[in-house]
Structure 1
Amino acid sequence: MSNLVLFLLMMCGGVFIAVQPSINARLAQKTGVIESSTVSFAVGALALLIVSILVGRGSLRGVAAANWWELTGGLCGAFYVTLVIFAVPRIGTAAAMAATIAAQLATGLLLDHYRLFGYQGAPFDLKRGIGVVLLLIGAALVFRR
């Protein structure tokens, strides 16, 4: 898969991430915040189980060899999805996404710089630092009422 295709797919993922909170928040009006998050994860887990069975190339048996902390990604996702379901009706989708994206970029900068989790990353430099600061300023401007 080319880097351009991967970039375009990530752009599509960004669209889905922006739409998901509004969908889940609407469901929460009928079910509740925690319940909406539960339904969201259950539907996603079922879809991924089907895809894993049909086209997966790995093995779910590898979970037995995983470190405990490698299994916490779902907790991170559950925290985020639940929090955004709560936040979107109160501060709006744009403000919730701006805060999320700014925090993701700042965290990504640190993960890359320190090569945490064993992945090759780019070291911190002034240009990357300015990019994060500008994004944080942009997030503050979007949030400002």
Structure 2
Amino acid sequence: MQSAYLILALAAGMFMPVQAGINAKLAGVVDGAIPAAFVSFFVGTVALGLVLAAMGQGLPLSRAVPGTPWWYWVGGSLGAFFVTATVILAPRIGAASMIALTLAGQLAASMALDHFGLLGFPHIPFDGKRLLGSLLLAAGVYLIRFPG
């Protein structure tokens, strides 16, 4: 089962630049990055609604609202920011640079979340190996962003 999770993570990562490219093309049709991100989220919301219906589950909003901390609702806004940013970035800096830079940001935030055990992540201390990995990733971002 562990290998299935690794394959799922790889596939999700492979779809990110594809989604950014599609949404960047869509932005040209719907007059901008924010309208394109809206369409992307709308289509995604409909797709998830169909999956919930196929699974025999109702909309989760009625179960989630009472007593839910306000910051639980921020995830959608962060996703909207990410999608909008990729729509803006993809045609300007290219897929490889966009993904390299967003990956570097994701890794930095992920290591901080792990180190401090925030948001329910297991506590995984920042150490020399993680520092080396970060430096190698930063070097990779530089080489990808400024080839030649």
* Residue of structure 1 equivalent to 2:146: 144
* Aligned sequence identity (%): 40
How many pairs were matched up?
A: 144
Which aligned pairs between 1:1-145 and structure 2 lie closer than 5 A?
2-31=1-30, 32-55=32-55, 60=60, 61-64=62-65, 65-144=67-146
The Cα offsets for residues 18-43 of structure 1, whole Å up to 9 and x where unpaired, read as: 21100000111111211111100000
Q: Distance in 2 between matches of 1:126 and 1:109?
A: 12
Alpha-carbon separation, structure 1, partners of 2:28 and 2:8? 31
Q: 1:122 to 1:56 in 2, by over 3 A?
A: farther
Deviation for aligned residue 1:118: 2.2
Q: Structure 2: 5+ residue runs without aligned partners?
A: none
TM-score, length-scaled by structure 1: 0.92
TM-score, normalised by the number of residues in structure 2: 0.91
3-state SS, counterpart of residue 45 of structure 1: helix
For residue 125 of structure 2, give the secondary structure of its aligned residue in structure 1. coil
Q: Which amino acid aligns with 1:26?
A: K
State the Cα deviation string for residues 79-116 of structure 1 (Å, max 9, x = none): 01101101111111111000001111111111111000
Aligned-residue offset at 1:52: 1.7
Q: CA RMSD in A?
A: 1.6
1:68 and 1:56, CA in 2 relative to 1: closer, same or farther beyond 3 A? farther
Distance, in Å, in 2 between the alignment partners of 1:59 and 1:23 is 28
After TM superposition, what 4+ stretches of structure 1 lie above 3 angstroms from structure 2? 56-59
Amino acid in structure 1 at the alignment position of 2:138: L
